Chains A and B, each alone.
Chain A
Amino acid sequence: MRKANILAERNVDDLLDKLRGLFADITAEDIMIKSVVTLTKDRTMWQAKELMRICKISGVPITDGDNQLEGIVSIEDIIVALEGNYITDPIEKHMTRDLITFSPETNLEMLIERFNRYRYGRFPVVDSNGKLLGIISKKDIIGAVLDKFRLIYVHDTRRREVLEKSVDWFDKSLISGDYVEKTSADFVYHIDYTDIDTAGVGSAKLKSYLKTLTDDDTLIRRVSIACYEAEVNVVIHSGSEGYIFAWYDEDVARVRVEDYGRGIDNVEQAMKEGFSTASDHVRELGFGAGMGLPNMRRYSDKMVVVSEAGKGVVVEMHFYRNGRK
């Protein structure tokens, strides 16, 4: 047992050395949350508590009107204020003024060292004049490290090659049965599933592209709505990267959206309005109400979905020039 532990520790050291190189270029500026919720010192401790509760944060920087950092109120300060029965006092009387701050250039190694040494939950990042630029909590560090890993994963396309070769429907048109030449597509967009805020960028690009080809606004609208739903599905459900391919000629716009992720267990169930497996987080963003596939069907003239659990999803849709109005 003891021996195994020593080995493991050595491996961990090796691993850390390798990782250190990978993460050496991450600085406080990259990690910090820039849209910081702040308060001024004339507000009360109770207001700070409410703000922290509503925003689900564990500390609030206190700034003057000019964004100059003056102090911080943490959950610990709130607990003490509740115990001491002075929660209605102004923040000015009780905020922590003696602060440890980071400059934007501080590197990851130094950040971790400070977190371990001072044991605070969060550190403000300030410029050389003491103005607040952002805030970093331990969660943000983990997030930055994970992002770096995810980037490595997404760039590794080997997984896709394996999938494409083993599954026939990645190569054939679902509607006509012909082999599709994806390299001949008029429009190609790579869907990044790691950032939900970018869901829809591909459809917006497709919309602009179609505008250069036709002035049939109804058709453009139908294509972009259906494609938007398909793109959002890739981002919120697949857990994998995906692609939008589109071909356009005078009579028909063809759109194919594919991903290489989780897949759909039961396509028939997924086609029903109101059926969804989305998380609460996704629902808070206005999606995940079980309208995705039904909306795609509503707007397209022909649509085929093929999927299998764990093998990704391919959606192919055709929109005819004189199709639905």
Chain B
Amino acid sequence: MRLSKIIQLLECEVLIIKDEDPEIESVGAADLMSDVLAFGGPGMILVTGLNSPQCVRTASVVGAAAVVIIRKRNVPETTIELAQELDMPLVHAKMSMYRACGILFREGLGDSLEEGKHLG
């Protein structure tokens, strides 16, 4: 599924976007960055309640295709700046984690944080 479709489904505020519209293969939902580092893989979209620059940096390190920050009052400038710098698409969904994940699951996207799937 294309990122643009996900932005539409989750009614996202777009913060950083690239010219190309990446293909999203699977979804990883976590607030714990170590979990993402342990099990995350290339091509996933990171759905997280964390809004610090670390979520963007973690996504970049595991090769994720985009980051969706869930329902924060604001996303800090430092986070947006880092996404710009690392060329990482960053969007903000103003709905609950449960709802966002439910929608993506219903659309048939797989779970990228399933243990053992992307073991280094």
Contact B34 A295 (CB under 8 A): yes
Instruction: For the complex, give the distance between the alpha carbons of A298 and B37 in Å.
Output: 10
Contact A200 B120 (CB under 8 A): no
Q: Known contacts A197-B78, A289-B32, A299-B120; is A229 also within 8 Å of B37 by CB?
A: yes
| In the complex, chain A residues whose CB is within 8 Å of the CB of B32 | 286-287, 289, 291
CB pairs A–B below 8 angstroms (14 shown)? A35-B76, A204-B57, A204-B60, A204-B86, A217-B42, A218-B120, A221-B63, A225-B120, A226-B120, A228-B37, A229-B34, A286-B31, A291-B37, A324-B119
Q: Does A199 make an interface contact (CB < 8 A)?
A: yes
Instruction: For the complex, give the distance between the alpha carbons of A286 and B61 in Å.
Output: 15
Q: Does B17 make an interface contact (CB < 8 A)?
A: no
Looking at the assembled complex, report how far the CB atom of A149 sits from the nearest CB atom of chain B, in whole angstroms: 24
Q: Does A224 make an interface contact (CB < 8 A)?
A: yes
Q: Known contacts A204-B86, A221-B62, A228-B37; is A286 also within 8 Å of B119 by CB?
A: no
For window 209-241 of A, CB contacts with B under 8 Å fall at 217-218, 221-222, 224-226, 228-229
Q: Does B16 make an interface contact (CB < 8 A)?
A: no
**Number of B residues contacting the other chain (C-beta, 8 Å)?**
26
Contact B35 A200 (CB under 8 A): no
For window 172-216 of A, CB contacts with B under 8 Å fall at 197, 199-201, 203-204, 207
Interface of A is mostly: helix
| In the complex, chain B residues whose CB is within 8 Å of the CB of A224 | 61
> Which one of B33, B48, B61, B120 contacts A207 once the chains associate, using CB atoms below 8 Å?
B61
Instruction: For the complex, give the distance between the alpha carbons of A204 and B62 in Å.
Output: 11
> Which one of B35, B55, B61 contacts A228 once the chains associate, using CB atoms below 8 Å?
B61
Instruction: For the complex, give the distance between the alpha carbons of A290 and B55 in Å.
Output: 18
| In the complex, chain A residues whose CB is within 8 Å of the CB of B119 | 298, 324
| In the complex, chain B residues whose CB is within 8 Å of the CB of A221 | 42, 61-63, 120
Chain A: which residue is nearest B79 at the CB level? A197
